[in-house]
Amino acid sequence: MSGVLIFRSRRSAALVFSCLTLVMAAASAAFARDAEANPLIDFLVGDWQNTSFEIADGRPVKKETYAESMVAKDADTLTITARAYRNGKDLVKEMHIVIKGKHATLSQGPFTAKGKREGNAYYFVGKDAGKQYRLRLFTLGDKYVFSREIWNEGKAEEVDLSYLTRKARAVTREGK
């Protein structure tokens, strides 16, 4: 969720983790101006409570809990706000996801991951700075689970897990 380069440091990776958690859920089909949102965007739009864990060898487990809100911006874009995420400041990011049948593409800034959809599960793989990112999102009723694995030279270096619970469902879109 940082405004700096994504994945260039552990701090920015942790911030991006929060954004990816929210955006992965924003997979979209046609979202015409007056049409209903696709089921995934409809599912994600609203207010959430996020509990995240960053797990890596040689470091203590890092746990963060904060509120997040999501608003559908357009057919393929979700605006995500992590409330009071760092130093009491809100962090805002946009995530772009395109779903075509079972194929899916997720992007944030220069980072792009490609993958697939299977029922209520979404799987993505992308590369940045020589490392592979494996992303998974599961929609489960009033909650969803997101995981991010960072792989380097065939080994997992870090696993981040987020568990989000719905606080309130929003019915409006950005600008409306």
171 occurs within a structural domain: no
Inter-residue contact 174 to 156 (CB < 8 Å): no
pTM of the model: 0.74
Task: List the structure tokens of 140.
Answer: 């489960």
Per-residue pLDDT in tens (0 to 9) along the chain, 176 residues? 434 334 455 554 444 444 444 444 343 333 333 343 456 777 788 999 999 999 999 999 999 999 999 999 887 889 999 998 878 889 999 988 877 878 888 899 899 999 999 999 999 999 999 999 999 999 999 999 999 999 999 999 999 999 999 998 765 455 54
CATH number of the domain that 24 lies in?
Answer: 2.40.128.20
Domain that holds residue 138: 10-164
Cβ neighbours around 34 below 10 Å, total: 4
- Looking at the structure of the chain, the number of domains it has is 1
